[in-house]
Chains A and B, each alone.
Chain A
């Protein structure tokens, strides 16, 4: 079958489905959906539909991005706009089946929004929701819309058009197109993709490789997983285009073994491509030959680093090596190799299909296109987002994210994961592009974005990232191996009230030297959280070191619990629940916490009846009039 035939067949299948007279239900079955209980919802759906004898097609789709609203479904009744429902429980699902599938009440109280022509009373347009309105979906274009295990869905939505177009061009023309689009590496470093391809294209050698870096390892980052689960072909098509442009005939997808669903969907996708002749010895009859292998990573963060990844593929311990030689000159098995991240590859296929100019129409002068982020932390609407470059942090946090829960104050936004840094609330209008983030001391990174509110201690948060980088350092170079450990040790001392007066300067000195001296990106960026937290939140370090105080009250060693004598009613609940018997007192006696025994677990605070509110948590100060020994409760006058 020619590609044209394949395409018309796919479109036919897609149209038939669209125009079908039966109800269609799309259910988010990505890992996020499953974790939120989508499988239970699916069970209910299946059972109820049979029980109620409702004719409906169920289509499992990838994550549409609204992780906070999972489990999420989209119900399409013929002739009506589709309706999204989120935060489903089996009970709510049953209600929706009864009310909307059987009856005709779309339950505007439960619906999130509608999509398609027409409106339904009391339900907003889905893509007009503030969470979606600022977003532009290029790399995630099909996620949540198509069945990721059906190649026809992808093809019907314009899939493999980019490849078909590329194969009609000369490889160099493809590279020029990518250069023109201004696409920069979405893995984090932001190197111009077209230029990188050019290096590899120009490198002498008959065997060349392309690698897709799917070793997403930043804590809290899930952009690549969602993309691979939701639309694997978009990535694979990009890889093929890149391979063609560079002159590679073999490729690897290096993916963490912790992403079983993504791996499964990639395998299915590759098998389907083989059936359609979209991968193999003569792709689309063009003579272009390409094969791809999936290499599962064993869980080392550092294997996301290019040279470590190649060592791992070669069967060696995943440790980075110095450059030069660069992978484009001597990479996998010593051959010229080009590595791009999952998101970059998906962008590539979109760029080829729709043109460089179209893509470059989004973003800023130096940062073109869109960027995926996994928005997480203290924000109302967490999720996977894709925004045009140049959007402000404020829009992301307040428009898309819906602000900080419980009316708390925003303290900072952390971007770039453990390699990134903290951007303080004062810089909330910073545009999100490579240069601005770097200037603020952070990085774009692969797309982790953690919102931090006033209850977060910056020393504690920094410690968290250092704990991670310290444990994930490969151990090869000394500045990273011992430097991250040293910074962590100092941070732990500070958090535990053992900080020394020179520690802030020492941390800064160490951080600069570690950035300077480390072999690979892991060590070179690991100090970023330390440097930016000191840069913007030095006062928090100082209060820990000089006042032994944690104003966010997160550092356990620096907080104390006291029982206020004028509030305690001597009910004994706290004493009974104290795991270390640190509370003395008796019936109708004001209880007293023995500070030497107390382990600051906070159970007393949790169990003290709210109507008394006698237990307080403090840091650095002690409430007045706390008795040494239990005294009788003074009867309320």
Chain B
């Protein structure tokens, strides 16, 4: 024990300390607790309530130790380690205390280990063994007799309070990580237990079902209902939203039996949302497509999908199906030209699938008619971003959020659509001192956390943003140096926003002048702010304008190109960033290289060994009219479901029914596939290798965990086979070969190789194989040189309310479901948690229309009608109703307006004029 305390100051100014634990010198980071110091040195201290992700709690008292010069036993998990501290972790006094504590738990722990779902994973059991708890010592104690009812109300997990030891990890995770607070400790003394508000069943609480509690429970008190212990775990990426959470799929007998967040994954640090945690049983759903299907001759395309599959399709071999598709496509190409064929690629498929698809369309078919649903979500971001910065991607990273002092969330219901980012914001605001401005017509969960709320009228974003800039300039809060050194076009913009006085903006947007000024001051005075936005900005006829306004505000205040600042369009789908990056767009090759640039075209012609079209192709949103106008005859749809996701669905249906040939490649017989001539069964994300690129530009590895069902194949394999049938074999054996080819042609992906992605993926730009990736963009300059201000005037939405259609309909996602429900509605937990669509309406509107909760409401627009049960809520502002678009039974997109943004061709999903009336009977 040569204990002379020493302090070593590291290069970055942090100090390490040395302490003596059980006679050994141990080095620890300053700020570490005694427990962390010991664990770091490989000295085990038992604990039930410690979790490195949570604040120290000190409840279980198993980690008590003796520390010289400190009175009594102290909990090592709450005591900071200090230099020269002398700690004893296994003295007789310590062990006696731990044993008694454990014996007390055991005496009050009901349940049989044999039948407990936690079985071998039970931390309580492990520590009891470590402490050598003896049966006869426990027998001396009086056994607890209180038996509490089990709460099995939640479809995903059970809560058995009789097995709870009150370590409160669940409560703390709910408060500190999910920042929901659905549960807390209730009652006192031996009656203390975990309960929801009002002690209601968990399913009736505000629980968001993220399962952060379940995964942390050390005993069998909170256990998943359906999980089994896996034989092996495969690290991959969640297939739902664009956050791109890293997960481990547990596999047993070629089936996914468990899921957990990857604690090392920098995107999510082990956290997951309800979909990412419980949404995987669609993989083994009986409705999965297992063989190719061919429409039975004579069955009309319009035959509805309520019929039986076998009355419409017959099962067939790959050979026949591919042959048929190849012949039909070649026929069309010869007869009508290559541009008579179009393809929809998929933001849900891998980069490799998308690369193969765009190459197939360009090199095999010979057209640029390729697009995908990014058109429907962030086309305006790409156009607006390129105009302002030269690049349309998110400029910053999740890691930047840790340094962000002000979040401005506009048109993004982040906690519903990007739950993990939503939690990051909530944590930063609740615990990190960050401020939050929320601009949204609806009252969303983040509104409760907001420093300033700006509930503007739908479609008035430009006016609102111009108003903010007006006040910032008026008060001299703009970053003059940044504007001078790094931007252009300021003067035009300044002159334009001069007219957007708070009074004018209040009249246009409905946002009180004082709130506008408060938000502007906050934004102008904060050093590092970022703007997060979603479809509320992009899905407008002025979507590009909206994005340019967001960019203006960032440029005005110098909040871009630095850590903690940035431009954060939140991409909606798991690989929408990648599908765009990799060229599934009609005007650009992979890496946003323009098809009408001869030099770039030559590069791809050389690489692919064929002539390529120089004409930009049609967009998704133009396809319907192109078909109806007779320009497009054949369509190849991979992993998309436009029959639910397009605006003005009836119009789109008419178009699809007019096609001469429709190929659909999917994992289920989607609403679109029901109209197909040939259906190819595809492998789902867990059944193939590849990469997804998330919203922070991180290219991450997707790995095969199970085999595809039946004869289903990876999308790139199907495309390659079809290319072969059409006489232009691609020759790919593995997905990584595709990425190598893509990387060689895509400068920003130049350094992406599968083996480099193993740990945590790479963020593009990553130009070469030694490049570490890029966390945030524009540090040294914008992609277009100087950042460009745009003078953007306010233009009202395409459709305004009228006597006949007095309400504004706005659409969006809800937490439990995703996109057109193809996957989420086939995940039991998700569909049980949220089985049907709703219409949300303000109580005032409901009263005026004589509607009550649960009424079946018929909502009508110029384009059609749908019906759905009514939910009355103050989340909706007066005059605005909200519908999620996930349900074909209440397909909100029958109502939505297909008016397009002139530049980005994105439709105006967010503003439609509608009417709502009661249907006869009441639903509950």
A98 on the interface (CB 8 Å rule)? no
Report whether B166 and A481 are in contact in the complex, using a CB–CB cutoff of 8 Å. Answer: yes
How far does the alpha carbon of A500 sit from the alpha carbon of B74 in the complex, in Å?
A: 33
Tell me the chain B residues, 96-135 only, with Cβ under 8 Å from chain A: 96-98, 100-101, 104-105, 107-108
The smallest C-beta distance from B183 to any residue of chain A, in angstroms, reads 11
Residue of B56, B165, B185, B190 near A470 (CB, 8 A) is B190
Q: Which residues of B contact A40 (CB under 8 A)?
A: none
The segment from B136-144, B524-532, B667-675, B723-731 that touches chain A is: B136-144
The smallest C-beta distance from A161 to any residue of chain B, in angstroms, reads 39
Q: Which residues of A contact B100 (CB under 8 A)?
A: 479, 483, 509-510, 513-514, 517
A-B contacts, 15 of them at CB < 8 A, read A322-B79, A470-B189, A475-B187, A475-B191, A475-B192, A477-B60, A478-B101, A478-B166, A482-B104, A482-B105, A485-B189, A490-B142, A514-B100, A516-B97, A519-B59
- With A473-B189, A473-B192, A486-B107 already in contact, 6 other A-B pairs whose C-beta atoms are closer than 8 Å: A471-B189, A474-B188, A475-B190, A485-B144, A486-B104, A510-B100
How far does the alpha carbon of A517 sit from the alpha carbon of B60 in the complex, in Å?
A: 9
Q: Which residues of A contact B193 (CB under 8 A)?
A: 475
A485-B144, A506-B140 in contact; A322/B192 too (CB < 8 A)?
no
A-side residues, CB < 8 A to B, are 300, 302, 317, 319, 321-322, 324, 470-479, 481-486, 489-490, 493, 500, 502, 506, 509-510, 513-514, 516-519, 524
B465 on the interface (CB 8 Å rule)? no
Report whether A476 and B142 are in contact in the complex, using a CB–CB cutoff of 8 Å. Answer: no
Q: Which residues of A contact B189 (CB under 8 A)?
A: 470-475, 481, 484-485
Report whether B104 and A483 are in contact in the complex, using a CB–CB cutoff of 8 Å. Answer: yes
Report whether A517 and B61 are in contact in the complex, using a CB–CB cutoff of 8 Å. Answer: yes
B336 on the interface (CB 8 Å rule)? no
Report whether B190 and A502 are in contact in the complex, using a CB–CB cutoff of 8 Å. Answer: no
Report whether A478 and B188 are in contact in the complex, using a CB–CB cutoff of 8 Å. Answer: no
Interface size on B, as a range, is 35 or more
Residue of B105, B140, B187 contacting most chain A CB atoms (<10 Å)? B140
The smallest C-beta distance from A310 to any residue of chain B, in angstroms, reads 15
Residue of B72, B166, B187 near A476 (CB, 8 A) is B166
Report whether A472 and B188 are in contact in the complex, using a CB–CB cutoff of 8 Å. Answer: yes
How far does the alpha carbon of A519 sit from the alpha carbon of B80 in the complex, in Å?
A: 16
How far does the alpha carbon of A534 sit from the alpha carbon of B231 in the complex, in Å?
A: 56
B847 on the interface (CB 8 Å rule)? no
Ordered nearest first, which 7 A-B pairs have the shortest CB separation? A475-B192, A322-B78, A489-B142, A513-B100, A482-B104, A322-B58, A485-B190
Nearest A residue (CB) for B60: A478
Q: Which residues of B contact A484 (CB under 8 A)?
A: 189-190
B93 on the interface (CB 8 Å rule)? yes
Residue of B73, B78, B140 near A516 (CB, 8 A) is B73
Residue of A300, A319, A489, A513 near B97 (CB, 8 A) is A513
Q: Which residues of B contact A502 (CB under 8 A)?
A: 140
Q: Which residues of A contact B293 (CB under 8 A)?
A: none
A317-B185, A474-B188, A481-B190 in contact; A519/B142 too (CB < 8 A)?
no
A317-B184, A472-B189, A516-B97 in contact; A478/B104 too (CB < 8 A)?
yes
Q: Which residues of A contact B141 (CB under 8 A)?
A: 486, 506
Q: Which residues of B contact A500 (CB under 8 A)?
A: 140
The smallest C-beta distance from A472 to any residue of chain B, in angstroms, reads 6
Q: Which residues of A contact B192 (CB under 8 A)?
A: 473-476, 481
Q: Which residues of A contact B618 (CB under 8 A)?
A: none
A317-B185, A516-B97, A517-B97 in contact; A478/B61 too (CB < 8 A)?
yes
Residue of A302, A321, A500 contacting most chain B CB atoms (<10 Å)? A321
Nearest A residue (CB) for B143: A489
Report whether A518 and B61 are in contact in the complex, using a CB–CB cutoff of 8 Å. Answer: yes
Q: Which residues of B contact A485 (CB under 8 A)?
A: 108, 144, 189-190
B487 on the interface (CB 8 Å rule)? no
Report whether B61 and A475 are in contact in the complex, using a CB–CB cutoff of 8 Å. Answer: no
Tell me the chain B residues, 604-627 only, with Cβ under 8 Å from chain A: none
Q: Which residues of B contact A517 (CB under 8 A)?
A: 61, 64, 73, 97-98, 100-101
Q: Which residues of B contact A300 (CB under 8 A)?
A: 188
How far does the alpha carbon of A164 sit from the alpha carbon of B59 in the complex, in Å?
A: 45
Report whether A493 and B104 are in contact in the complex, using a CB–CB cutoff of 8 Å. Answer: no
Q: Which residues of B contact A516 (CB under 8 A)?
A: 64, 72-73, 93, 96-97
How far does the alpha carbon of A483 sit from the alpha carbon of B190 in the complex, in Å?
A: 9
B249 on the interface (CB 8 Å rule)? no
Q: Which residues of B contact A518 (CB under 8 A)?
A: 61
Q: Which residues of A contact B140 (CB under 8 A)?
A: 500, 502, 506
Nearest B residue (CB) for A469: B189
Nearest A residue (CB) for B48: A478
Q: Which residues of B contact A476 (CB under 8 A)?
A: 57, 59, 166, 168, 185, 192
Report whether A478 and B185 are in contact in the complex, using a CB–CB cutoff of 8 Å. Answer: no
A483-B104, A513-B97 in contact; A475/B188 too (CB < 8 A)?
yes
B391 on the interface (CB 8 Å rule)? no
Q: Which residues of A contact B358 (CB under 8 A)?
A: none
B75 on the interface (CB 8 Å rule)? yes
How far does the alpha carbon of A117 sit from the alpha carbon of B890 in the complex, in Å?
A: 93
How far does the alpha carbon of A302 sit from the alpha carbon of B185 in the complex, in Å?
A: 14
How far does the alpha carbon of A300 sit from the alpha carbon of B189 in the complex, in Å?
A: 11
Q: Which residues of B contact A477 (CB under 8 A)?
A: 58-61
Residue of A319, A473, A475, A479 near B104 (CB, 8 A) is A479
Residue of A321, A471, A481, A502 contacting most chain B CB atoms (<10 Å)? A481
How far does the alpha carbon of A482 sit from the alpha carbon of B166 in the complex, in Å?
A: 11
Nearest B residue (CB) for A471: B189
Taken residue by residue from 180 to 212, chain B's Cβ proximity to chain A (1 for < 8 Å, 0 otherwise) reads as 000011011111110000000000000000000
Nearest B residue (CB) for A493: B142
The smallest C-beta distance from B306 to any residue of chain A, in angstroms, reads 53
How far does the alpha carbon of A194 sit from the alpha carbon of B545 in the complex, in Å?
A: 65
Report whether B80 and A324 are in contact in the complex, using a CB–CB cutoff of 8 Å. Answer: yes
How far does the alpha carbon of A500 sit from the alpha carbon of B80 in the complex, in Å?
A: 43
A481-B190, A513-B101 in contact; A324/B185 too (CB < 8 A)?
no
The smallest C-beta distance from A414 to any residue of chain B, in angstroms, reads 21
Q: Which residues of B contact A322 (CB under 8 A)?
A: 56, 58, 74-75, 78-79
Q: Which residues of A contact B78 (CB under 8 A)?
A: 321-322, 324
The smallest C-beta distance from B248 to any residue of chain A, in angstroms, reads 32
The smallest C-beta distance from B104 to any residue of chain A, in angstroms, reads 4
The smallest C-beta distance from B418 to any residue of chain A, in angstroms, reads 28
The smallest C-beta distance from A484 to any residue of chain B, in angstroms, reads 7
Taken residue by residue from 67 to 103, chain B's Cβ proximity to chain A (1 for < 8 Å, 0 otherwise) reads as 0000011110011100000000000010011101100
Q: Which residues of A contact B58 (CB under 8 A)?
A: 321-322, 477, 519
Q: Which residues of A contact B62 (CB under 8 A)?
A: 478
The smallest C-beta distance from A58 to any residue of chain B, in angstroms, reads 43
A481-B190, A513-B97 in contact; A475/B142 too (CB < 8 A)?
no
Report whether A475 and B166 are in contact in the complex, using a CB–CB cutoff of 8 Å. Answer: yes
Residue of B73, B96, B100 contacting most chain A CB atoms (<10 Å)? B100
Residue of B59, B142, B187 near A478 (CB, 8 A) is B59
How far does the alpha carbon of A634 sit from the alpha carbon of B144 in the complex, in Å?
A: 53
Q: Which residues of A contact B187 (CB under 8 A)?
A: 475
Q: Which residues of A contact B165 (CB under 8 A)?
A: 478
How far does the alpha carbon of A485 sit from the alpha carbon of B107 in the complex, in Å?
A: 11
Q: Which residues of A contact B59 (CB under 8 A)?
A: 476-478, 519
Tell me the chain B residues, 32-65 only, with Cβ under 8 Å from chain A: 56-62, 64
How far does the alpha carbon of A517 sit from the alpha carbon of B74 in the complex, in Å?
A: 8
How far does the alpha carbon of A1 sit from the alpha carbon of B144 in the complex, in Å?
A: 66
Report whether A482 and B184 are in contact in the complex, using a CB–CB cutoff of 8 Å. Answer: no
The smallest C-beta distance from B99 to any residue of chain A, in angstroms, reads 8
Q: Which residues of A contact B96 (CB under 8 A)?
A: 513, 516
Q: Which residues of B contact A478 (CB under 8 A)?
A: 59-62, 101, 104-105, 165-166
Nearest B residue (CB) for A513: B100
Nearest B residue (CB) for A520: B58
Nearest B residue (CB) for A475: B192
How far does the alpha carbon of A500 sit from the alpha carbon of B59 in the complex, in Å?
A: 31
Residue of A322, A489, A502, A518 contacting most chain B CB atoms (<10 Å)? A322
Q: Which residues of A contact B108 (CB under 8 A)?
A: 482, 485
